[in-house]
């Protein structure tokens, strides 16, 4: 039974975990943490001890990074994570759904000279880049954010790995940074603060559908009439989809400005490919890229302006003197 349970935690492990806490917090609560940890792990299976170690390390790092539930940064991340996950899942749906028929067709009828292995590899890479994001969104839509957070982190790792196989070009490097940032937002958000109420879950699903379905329709029926390629319009559309969520958080009677800032933060990672191109491409194109970045951010700025106008109109209405009888 010694390989299944443990009578007490290794003191060195406890000391290492407690050392992760900020010095002031460690001095005030270090002994209590050690006692509670020892009590919680006494006689427990090793898997349970590992979970306790993980939870303790996570709590310590959140306090050290000041992203806990009581920190402003924690509230910002709690607003950003579901939006970032929903937008990533929407993009995954946009990339995957129109390709499903072609992927199945190529497995049944491979290209001459390439063989079945090439078709299977292509299908595997496509699904590894997209399906995990859809799975993470599905788990979040069931209200299981802790599991969705793990699935989102795994999806980010898979996406970065698939992109790395295509070559480290500036735009691809920017895409890798986008996936890594989205995964970081999902993983770092305090689970207890993320909105997994029915309204919050419907909002995540609605954001994903609002990304995927219009972009699929435009790509299929209207791409030839656009001034920019569909992929170039994608970051602008993501910002436009996130704008109503930002407006809703800012225009209420008691606006949650920290969560609203998180909504904007959840949409910003998709500008990373632009930043990568601006950093490595010809300087002469920097002005054009800055204009494009401004177009991507404009819907969010418009939402902030409309929310400000709503609050101003509400304030004027409440301060107007009553009409004389």
- Tell me the three state secondary structure of residue 197: coil
- Mean pLDDT, rounded, for 167-177: 86
Q: Is the pLDDT of residue 14 over 90?
A: no
| pLDDT tens digits along 109-121 | 777 767 777 778 7
Is 305 inside a domain boundary? yes
If asked whether residues 30 and 135 sit together in one domain, one would say no
Is 199 inside a domain boundary? yes
If asked whether residues 82 and 180 sit together in one domain, one would say yes
Is 278 inside a domain boundary? yes
Closest among 296, 297, 317, 315 to 307, alpha carbons compared: 315
If asked whether residues 250 and 193 sit together in one domain, one would say yes
| DSSP character string of 256-268 | -HHHHHHHHHHHG
The label of the residue with tokens 């302006």 reads 305
Q: Domain range spanning residue 238?
A: 72-315
If asked whether residues 194 and 296 sit together in one domain, one would say yes
- Cβ atoms within 10 Å, residue 105: 11
| Alpha-carbon span 172 to 231, nearest angstrom | 13
What pLDDT score was predicted for residue 228? 64
If asked whether residues 106 and 193 sit together in one domain, one would say yes
Split into its structural domains, the chain has a count of 2
Which value, in Å, is the radius of gyration of the alpha carbons in the chain? Answer: 24
If asked whether residues 246 and 188 sit together in one domain, one would say yes
If asked whether residues 185 and 267 sit together in one domain, one would say yes
Is 2 inside a domain boundary? no
Domain boundary among 19, 34, 65: 65
- Mean pLDDT, rounded, for 16-33: 84
If asked whether residues 101 and 33 sit together in one domain, one would say no
Confidence of residue 4 (pLDDT cuts 50, 70, 90): very low
| Alpha-carbon span 234 to 223, nearest angstrom | 12
If asked whether residues 264 and 168 sit together in one domain, one would say yes
Is 321 inside a domain boundary? no
Better pLDDT: 57 or 266: 266
If asked whether residues 242 and 260 sit together in one domain, one would say yes
């Amino acid at each position: 039974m010694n390989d299944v349970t443990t009578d007490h935690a290794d003191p060195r492990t406890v000391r290492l975990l407690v050392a992760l806490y900020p010095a002031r917090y460690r001095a005030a609560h270090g002994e209590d943490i050690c006692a509670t940890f020892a009590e919680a792990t006494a006689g427990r299976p090793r898997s349970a001890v590992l979970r306790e170690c993980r939870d303790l390390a996570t709590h310590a790092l959140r306090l050290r990074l000041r992203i806990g539930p009581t920190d402003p940064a924690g509230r910002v991340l709690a607003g950003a994570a579901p939006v970032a996950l929903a937008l990533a899942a929407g993009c995954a749906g946009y990339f995957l759904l129109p390709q499903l028929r072609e992927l199945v067709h190529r497995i049944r009828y491979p290209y001459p000279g390439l063989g079945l292995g090439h078709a299977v590899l292509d299908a595997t890479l496509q699904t590894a880049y997209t399906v995990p994001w859809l799975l993470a969104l599905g788990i979040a839509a069931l209200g299981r954010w802790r599991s969705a957070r793990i699935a989102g982190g795994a999806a980010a790792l898979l996406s970065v790995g698939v992109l790395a196989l295509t070559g480290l070009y500036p735009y691809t490097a920017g895409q890798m940074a986008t996936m890594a940032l989205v995964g970081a937002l999902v993983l770092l958000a305090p689970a207890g603060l993320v909105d997994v109420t029915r309204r919050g879950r419907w909002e995540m699903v609605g954001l994903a559908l609002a990304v995927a379905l219009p972009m699929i329709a435009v790509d299929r029926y209207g791409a030839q009439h656009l001034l920019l390629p569909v992929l170039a319009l994608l970051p602008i559309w993501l910002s436009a989809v996130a704008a109503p969520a930002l407006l809703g958080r800012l225009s209420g009677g008691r606006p949650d400005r920290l969560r609203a800032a998180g909504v904007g933060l959840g949409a910003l990672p998709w500008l990373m490919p632009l930043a990568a191109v601006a950093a490595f491409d010809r300087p002469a194109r920097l002005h054009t890229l800055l204009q494009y970045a401004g177009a991507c951010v404009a819907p969010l700025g418009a939402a902030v302006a409309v929310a400000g106008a709503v609050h101003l109109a509400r304030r004027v209405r409440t301060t107007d003197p009553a009409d004389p009888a």
